[in-house]
Structures are given as structure tokens and as C-alpha cells.
Amino acid sequence: EGQVKALANAFEELRHTQAELMHSEKLATIGQLASGVAHEINNPLQVILGRTQMLSRTEKDESKMQSLRDIESHTVRIAEIVDGLLSVARKDTSGEIKEVDLNLVVARALSLLESQFSLNDIVVVKDLDSSNPCINANAGQIQQVITNLALNACQAMAGSGGTLTIRTRANQDNVEVEVIDTGPGIDEAIMDRVFEPFFTTKPEGEGTGLGLSIVLGIVQAHGGTVKVGNAAGGGACFTLYLPAASKSDQIAA
């Protein structure tokens, strides 16, 4: 019986590894596509934006002016999507890696979202490890990770209000960040898919489905992992594991 169990475990592990491989291959393909196309799209976009802004300067008719504003805002939206694709593609973090205090990055990300939280009746609980957990990282990218997770939590709780808890913990090898909300949580049926590029349950025009693939790309580029699950209270819970600075130092040495 022990052998059967071991075999079952091995199978499960194999299935999991295969799923991960397929996922990273998908990301890599999208990355190649994105960097090739994004540049080509950006040039005409800038032309459209420039001409629209030029016309806006002299337009007197209010309804035509509104159309020009619509064109401008939608063009900006396209530019943002292209940008998002590029951040999924951008694997390399060289250049700006520094020792970063995770608590500071978390605080900075949250303070920029303050108005969104209060607008949606969301209370933020910060439970930050006082030993100042440090990682070797690109601070801007890690801030983006926290921002994407907090925004998702905010969107999940919008309408009903709730509590967003962010917890940092330093272990010996890893620094962990938990982002927990009190929203509806994530259906088991889609749990495997939330990190896929373009996977979204939001209405068209609201979500692109890139937020979590950007999170995964950045965390993996930093040598870390992300886990998703539902918290005891029913909301979603995302946990980041990032290599602690001292450990990565040893690897680099």
C-alpha cells in the first residue's frame, strides 16, 4: 500500500510540474510576442495621441471635443495594456537590484492606494515584522507586485467593504508577505488559472487579466514563489516567498 501511495504522490508531482512547465512556456511565448509587437504598436499610438491632442487644442464644438477626449482616453488605455504585456515579458531585473526593506515597499504601495481603500470602505491592517525583513530586489517591481495584489483585494471587496490584511514575516531563508482580504474568495474551479495571462472574471473593459501574471513574473525573476488560497474567513489569500537578503548574498558569493 505504501508503494501505491508513493506512486500516486509521484504522479501528482509530475502532473504539477507539467502544469508549471506549460505555464512558463505560455508566458515565454507571450513574452516574445509582446516585445516584438509592443514596439510596433507604440509608434502609431503616439501619433494618434499627438494628433488628438493637437485637434483638442482648437476644437470649439463640445460634442466633437468629447469624442476627442474619448479617443484620447482609449488610446491611453491601449498604451497601458501594451505596457502591461511588456512587464509580463520583462524577465530580467538586472541593474536595479538593491537591498530593499520590504516593510517600506509595502507601506509605500499601500499609501498610494489610500483613497481607493477609503472610497470602498476598506480597512487596512498592517502587520509588519519589526525586524525589517530585507530582500535583494528591484523595489519598483516589488511595489508593483504589492499594488496588483492590493488592487485585486480592493476590487473583490468593492461594494461591501471589508478588511485588507498585509503581513510580513522574516524567516531564516525567506521573507513572506501575506495579502488577505475578506471578499468572496476564489472558486476552486478557477484557482489554477488566476495566474494565466489574460485570465479574468471581470467584465470586458474592466480587467485585462494581466495583474497576477505580472505578479508571478516578477516574483519568479526574484527567485521567489507565490501561493494562492482562500483564508479561513472565506476571502482570498496570496502568499509571496522571497529569498531573504542574507541568503541571496551567500548564493552570489
Q: What residue ranges bind Mg ion (CB under 5 A)? A: 152, 211
Nearer CB in complex with Mg ion: 68/153: 153
Contact pattern from residue 107 through residue 146 relative to ligand ATP, giving x for each residue in contact according to CB under 6 A and a dash for the rest: ----------------------------------------
Q: Which of 52, 138, 143, 152 binds ligand ATP (CB under 6 A)?
A: 152
Q: Does 241 bind ligand ATP (CB under 6 A)?
A: no
For the chain, give the secondary structure using H, E and C.
CHHHHHHHHHHHHHHHHHHHHHHHHHHHHHHHHHHHHHHHHHHHHHHHHHHHHHHHHHCCCHHHHHHHHHHHHHHHHHHHHHHHHHHHHCCCCCCCCEEEEHHHHHHHHHHHCHHHHHHCCEEEEEECCCCCCEEEECHHHHHHHHHHHHHHHHHHHCCCCEEEEEEEEECCCEEEEEEECCCCCCCHHHHCCCCCCCCCCCCCCCCCCCHHHHHHHHHHHCCCEEEEEECCCCCEEEEEEEEEHHHHHHHHC
The whole-angstrom separation of Cα 199 and Cα 34 is 16
Indicate which of ligand ATP, Mg ion, none lies near residue 153 (CB less than 5 to 8 Å, by partner kind): ligand ATP
Count, residues near ligand ATP per rule CB under 6 A = 20
Least CB distance from residue 62 to ligand ATP, whole Å? 32
Contact pattern from residue 172 through residue 191 relative to ligand ATP, giving x for each residue in contact according to CB under 6 A and a dash for the rest: ---------x-x--x-----
Of 11-19, 20-28, 196-204, 219-227: span binding ligand ATP (CB under 6 A): 196-204
The whole-angstrom separation of Cα 155 and Cα 165 is 14
Of 21-29, 97-105, 161-169, 199-207: span binding ligand ATP (CB under 6 A): 199-207
Nearer CB in complex with Mg ion: 152/248: 152
Least CB distance from residue 61 to Mg ion, whole Å? 38
Instruction: Summarize as ranges the residues that interact with ligand ATP (CB under 6 A).
Output: 148, 152-153, 156, 181, 183, 186, 194, 199-202, 207-213, 236
